Structure 1
Amino acid sequence: MNSYDVAVIGSGPGGYVAAIRCAQLGMKTAIIEKYDTLGGTCLNVGCIPSKALLDSSHHYDDAITHFEEHGIEIPGEVKVNLKKMIARKQDVVDQTTKGIDFLMDKNKIDVYHGIGSFKDATHIEIKQGKKTEEIEVKHSIIATGSKPSTLPFIEIDKERIITSTEALTLKEVPKHLIVIGGGVIGLELGQVYSRLGAEVSVIEYMDRIIPTMDGGLSKELQRSLKKRGIKFFTSHKVKEVTRKGTKVTVKADDKKGKEVSFEGDYCLVSVGRRPYTDGLNAEKAGIKVNDKGQIAVNEHLQTNISNIYAIGDVVKGAMLAHKAEEEGVFVAETLAGQKPHVDYNLIPGVVYTWPEVAAVGKTEEQLKETGTKYKTGQFPMRALGRARASMDIDGFVKILADAETDEVLGIHMIGARTADLIAEAVTAMEFRASAEDISRMSHAHPTYAEAVKEAALDATDSRPLHT
């Protein structure tokens, strides 16, 4: 029987990063993955493939909507080859997962393929088909991630009534894609197929899309996507989804209680994700799981069994790949006797639609709820020379700062490349910058980043330079 200092169950961003850091710190490490490829949901059927399709569809959208204005003329009709687009997406996934294989070899991490199940707190069985083997471990890190959620009355057939997983491998562009859920995943995949020619209708239970983000971002994103042809039905409660042949019917009640019916050829169910612990046999190790299906952990990400930890989507908090990565490093360094920290307030959230949406820190709604006195600075992207040059004029940057100390409490942005730009905001807030600090920093011209400086100037004493 092989013995390890650490065994990581699950090879998503949290799991493989935890394994790498453990190995770097001198621990003999194993990683256990249910599927044939490493990388988990994010690399195989989540973050990476969805971004590949978003980028491909963006190129196509630019070609048919903006190229002529840029003075680029394409003879003949611009067409979508969906099969080739999906194949390129898979190439990106394959390259990325092979990169994880390389990192495991480089760091001398033993990789086991199969379902990892606890036999007890220090022994894990790994089952792959008829083959079963057992390893002994001093510490375990559970990083089994999450799966798409559904509603109890919806039967996912994976053909016409689908989750995000199936939406990444469609054989045709839908005529009418009905998206249930106006969160990140539904909007991103909805925009992919909207760009490719599908009619897209988004049905959201809450009164606005991306409801966990700042209200200003929700309003601006909906306005921008609506201009691009996506239809929104907020405050609608879905109550029935049925399929007959190639026709899918969705029935919902609007905010007045009136029944509304939608008909399409595909329905994407995107109502969130649930922690995944199937086959883990957590109870055999004595691990507590809460009523939400999450593994209960303390502030050190330690379960009630002292030598077993859990990270990522399977524990409380936002289901984000980069949050899982930070937690993986945190646990590895904790096991090595170090004293790491994760500031959950400074983990950014991003929506990779176009315009992109990104945020870190407190929302305006949260500050109002806690009675915090704050001031606001905001700057529109359309006032930037860089935005006009690229024709990406939708959006803004909003900075929320403490009314007395001027410390930045939250930064919320929507526009071109804000997914990358949010790192500036995280860095500033990590060092507890004031709005004045940001306003005094030189920002290259012309860039989208200038909107951050201008918003900071507006928050400081209402003195933006370019509005």
Structure 2
Amino acid sequence: MKKVEKTELAIIGAGPGGYVAALRGAQLRKKVILMEEDRVGGTCTNYGCIPTKYLLHETQILKEVRHNPRFRGKEGLNLDWPQVQQMRQSIIDRLVKGIEFLLEKNGVKLIKGKARLINERCAAVATAEEEITIEAERLILATGSRAADLPFLKADGTRVITSREALELEEPPGSMIIIGAGAIGLELGSIFTRLGTRVTILEILARPLPGVDRQLAERLARLLKRQGIEIQTQMKVERAEIFENKVKLSGTCLKTGQPFEVEGEKVLLAAGRRPNSEIVKQLDSALCGPGGFVKVNEYLETDWPQVYAVGDLIGGKLLAHKAMHEGILAVENAFGARHSLEPQMIPVAVFTDPELASVGWTEEEAMERGLKIKIGLFPLHASGRAVAMEKSEGLVKILADDNNRLVGAHLLSPAASEMIGEMALALRLGLRIEEIGRTIHVHPTLSEALAEASLKTLNQALHLIND
């Protein structure tokens, strides 16, 4: 006899969107079942955000010491790569156990196994021991995404790899071609360049980081090229040849119309991600839209009643913190609320050196919407803290409308990912830029640049010449 369990809320996928939704459901005192075929924490914790940030941290220390002319005895300085990889896995395991502990203490039932949908609110989970049927009053789909292949180039885990394999390499390769100059491509390119790999990034669009403020993205690209990363834009890859010890890519440069060829020991696919929507398509493919992403309305409801979807599965900005927030909203909406998420309120960060972080409209987006904007620019060479850190190449850019309300903030700076939260809060609260400018920031800190750039929109900056 098959085992059947009934629950108020079932969630498929225990990545950031799914496990946070489960915790919120438990806070609302609902009976919650969470299904996951791999490890809790999803791609972000196990194969993405967390291990990437650890390797960025380790390699940044190496880079700083190597390039500081005042350090002595640096000859032969390098990372013990096996120990680095061991620590990477230790950090992941610690965080996974932490999530499992939270789920258990909050009364969430975690079932490990591959789930399939039987109908709109009924799933079957194949565990190692048995198949369990879950009958749910409400269902949240949070199955995430995976790295996208190219039609003529698919990951084989050896010569052609995804970010997952890149983070687990036994040793850094001598050369690597990265297809895609988005956040993943630039972050992994930074890691391997610091380790001595010759990195070439090929981007089909005219600039890296499409969707990010153009001025800051182009400035970051120049800084990364100075660090040794070769970034080639408007490069359409059309063919691939895989050999025993290398891969050769060829195609057309869209800027010149000329053919190109480039070779590397490894090719890293970082040109987008595909949703894990097969679980839905098997039952009703009409639930999915372009690219296979599940269609939802502003309240994260699918076309099926009492079925919600969150995170990478529904597209938009493929970010863990977006998925987490959507997980919370989906649960609350499932039990009576009517919350929605405004996309421009979602902050973005790229963990390069310097970091790039952004929230709200870019200058280009504001102009497309016909907004009359004021722009305040504050270069970090006017920041005492940045100069003291020898990190003064960055720029802070603040956008305000004609009522002096903040509409966008774009930071190219060390610790930009930590500072963008202040601007996200200011944007959410609809603050005027003088309120940001007159908020006391600790001196000397990088965050003072937020106040200075805000004041610059009013021509009241203190550490710059105003117009």
Are 1:275 and 2:275 counterparts?
yes
SS at match of 2:231: strand
Written as runs of structure 1 = structure 2, the 5 A alignment for 1:189-204 is 189-204=188-203
Structure 2 residue runs of 5 or longer lacking an equivalent are: none
Question: Aligned partners of 1:182 and 1:454: how far apart in 2?
Answer: 31
Normalised TM-score (structure 2): 0.96
Are 1:27 and 2:43 counterparts?
no
Q: Alpha-carbon deviation of 1:452?
A: 0.6
Are 1:53 and 2:52 counterparts?
no
Are 1:409 and 2:414 counterparts?
no
Q: Alpha-carbon deviation of 1:189?
A: 0.4
Question: Aligned partners of 1:400 and 1:213: how far apart in 2?
Answer: 14
Q: Alpha-carbon deviation of 1:239?
A: 0.8
Written as runs of structure 1 = structure 2, the 5 A alignment for 1:178-193 is 178-193=177-192
1:118·1:285 contact (CA, 8 Å) conserved in 2?
Answer: no
Identical columns (%): 36
Which amino acid in 1 is paired with 2:64? Answer: D
Question: Aligned partners of 2:240 and 2:80: how far apart in 1?
Answer: 30
Which amino acid in 1 is paired with 2:34? Answer: I
Question: Aligned partners of 2:136 and 2:22: how far apart in 1?
Answer: 13
Q: Alpha-carbon deviation of 1:247?
A: 1.3
SS at match of 1:353: coil
Are 1:384 and 2:386 counterparts?
no
Give 2:160's aligned residue: 161
2:10·2:32 contact (CA, 8 Å) conserved in 1?
Answer: yes
Question: Aligned partners of 1:333 and 1:460: how far apart in 2?
Answer: 41
Are 1:11 and 2:14 counterparts?
yes
Question: Aligned partners of 2:154 and 2:406: how far apart in 1?
Answer: 46
Q: Alpha-carbon deviation of 1:283?
A: 4.7
Give 1:456's aligned residue: 454
Which amino acid in 2 is paired with 1:43? Answer: T
SS at match of 2:290: coil
Taking a change above 3 Å as real, the CA distance of residues 170 and 94 of structure 1, as seen in their structure-2 partners, is same
Q: Alpha-carbon deviation of 1:77?
A: 2.1
1:143·1:314 contact (CA, 8 Å) conserved in 2?
Answer: yes
Structure 1 residue runs of 5 or longer lacking an equivalent are: none
Taking a change above 3 Å as real, the CA distance of residues 250 and 75 of structure 1, as seen in their structure-2 partners, is closer
2:174·2:196 contact (CA, 8 Å) conserved in 1?
Answer: yes
SS at match of 1:330: helix
Give 1:427's aligned residue: 425
Q: Alpha-carbon deviation of 1:462?
A: 5.0
Written as runs of structure 1 = structure 2, the 5 A alignment for 1:3-402 is 3-35=6-38, 37-66=39-68, 68-69=69-70, 72-74=71-73, 76-128=75-127, 131-254=130-253, 255-278=255-278, 280-284=279-283, 288-402=287-401
Which amino acid in 2 is paired with 1:313? Answer: D
Question: Aligned partners of 1:106 and 1:88: how far apart in 2?
Answer: 27
Taking a change above 3 Å as real, the CA distance of residues 75 and 334 of structure 1, as seen in their structure-2 partners, is closer
Give 1:438's aligned residue: 436
Taking a change above 3 Å as real, the CA distance of residues 123 and 51 of structure 1, as seen in their structure-2 partners, is same
Identify which range, 375-384 or 336-345, moves more after superposition.
336-345
Q: Alpha-carbon deviation of 1:61?
A: 0.9
Taking a change above 3 Å as real, the CA distance of residues 282 and 151 of structure 1, as seen in their structure-2 partners, is closer
2:398·2:457 contact (CA, 8 Å) conserved in 1?
Answer: yes
1:178·1:201 contact (CA, 8 Å) conserved in 2?
Answer: yes
Question: Aligned partners of 1:148 and 1:331: how far apart in 2?
Answer: 25
Question: Aligned partners of 1:75 and 1:253: how far apart in 2?
Answer: 42
Which amino acid in 2 is paired with 1:173? Answer: P
